[in-house]
Amino acid sequence: MLSLEEIVDKHAGMVRRIATVYERHPDRIDDLVQEVWLAVCQALPRLDNPATLKPYIARMTQNICVTHVRRALVRKTELLSDSVPDASTPIDEATDHTRQLIRLTEAVRNLPDLLKAVAGLYLEDIPIKDIATILGISESNASVRLHRAKTFIRMSFGEAS
């Protein structure tokens, strides 16, 4: 069984990227990430199968992020006032790769709620079967959503669907 340090080191990127899909403000992303790891830390002794760790952490992140969105909606005005670096804003130091990454993050963020969850998990290499289980929807439903999400992302990158 891996130690908490090793688990955090291995999956910290995934947790942060999923949180970034649901939240723009860096401080609140940090809060979300902390909340997820605290929940993982508390649930770890009850986890009997280490092989399912990645989908398990992804599921927790997804659930905490959904709960977070509920709270953030109440503070809608506050969220709108956040100064968020826009993908279209030129960043002098940013490389082409960084710009593409920011653009992709914005594209996923701008997806409708029902596609955002599927896209966020798919991009983290979670199999479609696990995505369906995590969200509590059928596999075919998850596949259709994923197809639509991909089309949206391609369109926002200016690619033909």
Partner 1 sequence: MKEPSQIDPFAKLWQSAPKLDTRQLMLDVQRLHKTHQWHNRILILILCGIALLLIFYVATERSKTLGILSALWMAYVVGAIWFQRVRCGSADALNLDTVSLLKRMIARAKRGLFQARCLYVGTPVAALVATGLTRTSGLSLTSDGYAVPSWLALMQTIAGLIALVIMVVAGLILAKARRRQLQELTEKLRSLGENL
Compute the distance between CA of residue 76 and CA of residue 105 in angstroms, rounded to an integer: 20
Q: For partner 1, which residue of 2, 125, 155, 161 counts as binding (CB under 8 A)?
A: 125
- Tokens 């669907």 — which residue? 161
Contacting residue, 67, 89, 110, 151, with partner 1 by CB under 8 A = 67
- Tokens 């995590």 found at: 134
**Shortest distance in whole angstroms from residue 158 CB to partner 1:** 13
For residue 156, state whether it binds partner 1 (rule: CB under 8 A): no
Task: Choose among 22, 98, 97: nearest CA to 63.
Answer: 22
- Interatomic CA distance for residues 66 and 23, integer angstroms: 10
CB of 86 to partner 1, least distance (A): 18
Tokens matching residue 139 = 């596999």
**Residue closest to 29 by CA, chosen among 39, 19, 21, 37:** 19
Name the minimum Å distance from CB 135 to partner 1: 5
Q: Which helix (H) or strand (E) holds 12?
A: helix 4-22
| CB closer to partner 1 out of 25 and 105 | 105
CB neighbours of residue 82 within 10 Å = 12
For residue 144, state whether it binds partner 1 (rule: CB under 8 A): yes
Binding site for partner 1 (CB under 8 A): 4-5, 8-9, 12-13, 16-17, 33-34, 37-39, 41-43, 46, 56, 59-60, 62-64, 66-67, 69-70, 73-74, 97, 100-101, 104, 108, 112-114, 117, 122-125, 133-138, 141, 144-145, 148, 150, 153
